[in-house]
Amino acid sequence: MTSAKTRKTVAAEEVWLKRSSNTLGLGVPLVIMAIGKSGEHQWWGEYSILISGGTTAYLSQRTTLNTANVPEDILGGYSSFMKMEVEQQVQTRLSVHLFELYEKTKSDYALQKIDLVDAVKEDVIRLWLRGHLHEEIKKIKDTTQSETLRTFLTKVVQLPDVFTIK
């Protein structure tokens, strides 16, 4: 039997999505994020950024946090800390990506700020059904540490392309 203190620190995986609310000429970023716990003191977080449209891109990263010597109360909770950390890493990576685009293109479009809003799993399904970023979605499925995300994406990659866009 686990103590109340132990139960407090153990959290299930969490998967959430964000997408850009408006981007001009850059494509539409869709971000898939997940966090979870593996082992007594090990937390992980990961993100995948899928950019469809004008500047197709796939960006991803996984981070681990060893909490053996970090009191939970100083972080405000391991789960919430890890979630916020992943979201900040996404913002930083998008900023770097945009600056790299600016350096290549000298287009002011690449200097815009991308605001992320909550997204839904149907946003991933729409990408797939339109025939966009299939290889990247398969890669996320194959490399994610999240069982929840892997299960969802396994179903997605079995769907046929159904849209014809002319």
The overall average pLDDT reported for the chain is: 87
pLDDT value for 106: 80
- How many whole angstroms separate alpha carbon 118 and alpha carbon 129? 21
Stretch 33-56: mean pLDDT, rounded?
A: 92
Share of residues in the chain with pLDDT > 70 (%): 87
**3-state secondary structure at position 93:** helix
Enter the DSSP assignment of 109: G
The answer to whether the beta carbons of residues 114 and 20 sit under 8 Å apart is yes
15-29, 46-60, 71-85, 118-132: segment of lowest average pLDDT = 15-29
Cβ burial of 138 (10 Å; 0-12, 13-18, 19+) is middle
- pTM of this structure: 0.87
**DSSP bridge partners of 64:** 44
- Enter the tokens of residue 136: 């990247």
